Chains A and B, each alone.
Chain A
Amino acid sequence: MTALSYSYYPGCSLHASASEYDLSTREVFASLGIGLEEIPDWICCGATPAHNVDELLSLSLSAKNLELAEQVPGDMAVACASCFSRLKFAQHILSENETKRKLVEKAIDAPVHLERRVKHLLEILVRDYGLEQLATAVKKPLSDLKIACYYGCLLTRPTDVPNLDCTEAPTIMEQVMEAVGAQTVAWTHRLECCGANFTLSRPPVVQQLSNAVLESAKIAGADCIVVACPLCHGNLDIRQKEIEGVYETSYGLPIFYLTQLVGLALGVPQERLGLDALIVSPQKLLRDKKIN
């Protein structure tokens, strides 16, 4: 097998509030021998605010990123669920709608590049690297850990675009977690919204929606939640304490990025996975479960 190698689009959050996601992604890829080279000068994908009010701008920003990606060979590896969704949406719309494609080409003053395959980390681990191979690379299986896999919105929805997995009953995240030895729980809110970018403009909405997610994971008996999106992480981890205050309850659920848990199972020392950046400390849980 030829060595896998990807052009990496981290996205804005991974260079700031989700730096531990970036750190652990690099560690996991290095540990598995998968190449990962960051696209020079990538720009913001526009996320929800851009497509909310200006589709042309949103499509142009993604088209510019696809153009910048031409500098680095290999399929595009994307960690953030929102960036992943925007890039896939742009490719889909620009390949189907000629009017919009022409407008975007005018805006970026270059032809649009639609050939490059955009892949989420989960896809790379499951379909390119392979679960069997991943399982054999595990040094410290997460045997006693009961995990609630949280997909949120944009990894799987809508039907025709990201095409990562089934929209109503995806299993791709569970597959990865089980391959590294963990147990996954069945729970009700794994596809519900956490409140997303209302975290800035309307925190009470986020508190209500994220509370339902945390409550459901707790009821299902999970020790922790694993996510693949910086915004979900921010809402469930950073806001967890205030949610506990508002709803007069106690969850104490550590929220991990998927690469942090895969990294732990691969034997990467926890200081290199940014576990100290988590607001809800996972230390007691990891000690209890004798991980690391």
Chain B
Amino acid sequence: MKKKKMLLSQKTMDLDMVRKVEQLSGTSVRRCFQCGKCSAGCPMATFMDHPPNRIVRLLQLGQWQRILAGRSIWYCVSCETCSTRCPNQVHLASIMDALRKLSWDQDGPSKESYVQLANRLFLENIRTYGRQYEMRLAAVFNVKSGQFLKDMLLGPKLLSKGKLKVFHQKNKNMAEVEKIFSRIEEMRRKGEAL
């Protein structure tokens, strides 16, 4: 997909989806003139198949599928350097959020499933406990990703320093937290949410 020759025509350019990205991110991809400053400052650019400036170029050309087929969006660390330095106020960090949301909603296969798994567990913890339960987050991540020994040596040390709390108290307002999650799901089902 990502290496396939790019033929541009009305048929191959999906600009509706790009408009959705612009709406979600509150920023315009058309402002970009490809100076490359975002990629120059990006700490993760070397890990990406499409560097940040090319992401915007691909969006300008309606090629969002190429981006979602690659791994760049899951290697963005949300450091906000690109948005800060853009001379044309293209908020690329927000565009990355919007692209991840599109990919997340499609729930398609992702090469970067570890990041998706970490995000999913993180959000599940909020829904169950109201606050982050770091010990559970790390333990369940290791089990579900099959990396049972990952950071094993850190565990005992963190426990002895009081940095891992084994027991976690749920918030008293859990019913309200659950309602926020279920209302958003409801709004999604009805197509009311962005």
A residues with a Cβ closer than 8 A to B are: 12-13, 15-19, 41-44, 46-57, 60-61, 64, 68, 93, 96-97, 99-100, 103, 106-109, 153-154, 157-159, 167-168, 192-193, 195-198, 200-203, 205, 209, 238-239, 242, 276-279
**In the complex, A108 Cα to B75 Cα: how many Å?**
31
Report chain B residues within 8 Å CB of A209.
43
What's the dominant secondary structure at chain A's contact region? Answer: helix
Asked if B126 contacts A43 (CB within 8 A), the reply is yes
What's the dominant secondary structure at chain B's contact region? Answer: helix
Name, among A15, A61, A68, A201, the residue most crowded by chain B CB atoms within 10 Å (CB to CB).
A201
Asked if B151 contacts A201 (CB within 8 A), the reply is no
Report chain B residues within 8 Å CB of A12.
131-132, 134
Name, among B26, B43, B91, B100, the residue most crowded by chain A CB atoms within 10 Å (CB to CB).
B43
**In the complex, A46 Cα to B125 Cα: how many Å?**
10
Asked if A277 contacts B163 (CB within 8 A), the reply is yes
Report chain B residues within 8 Å CB of A103.
187, 192-194
Asked if B114 contacts A55 (CB within 8 A), the reply is no
Residue from B137, B158, B193 in contact with A56 in the complex, judged by beta carbons closer than 8 Å: B193
- Size band of the B side of the interface? 35 or more
By beta carbon, the residue of chain B nearest A97 is B26
> 9 A-B contacts, Cβ less than 8 Å apart?
A44-B130, A46-B123, A49-B119, A55-B97, A108-B183, A195-B77, A201-B114, A202-B115, A242-B153
Q: Please list the 4 inter-chain residue pairs (A to B) with the smallest Cβ-Cβ separation, ordered nearest first.
A: A12-B132, A157-B80, A49-B122, A193-B79
B residues with a Cβ closer than 8 A to A are: 24, 26, 43-44, 47, 75, 77-81, 83-84, 91, 93, 97-98, 100-101, 104, 114-115, 117-119, 122-123, 125-126, 130-135, 137-138, 141, 150-151, 153-154, 157-158, 161-165, 171-173, 176-177, 179-181, 183-184, 187, 192-194
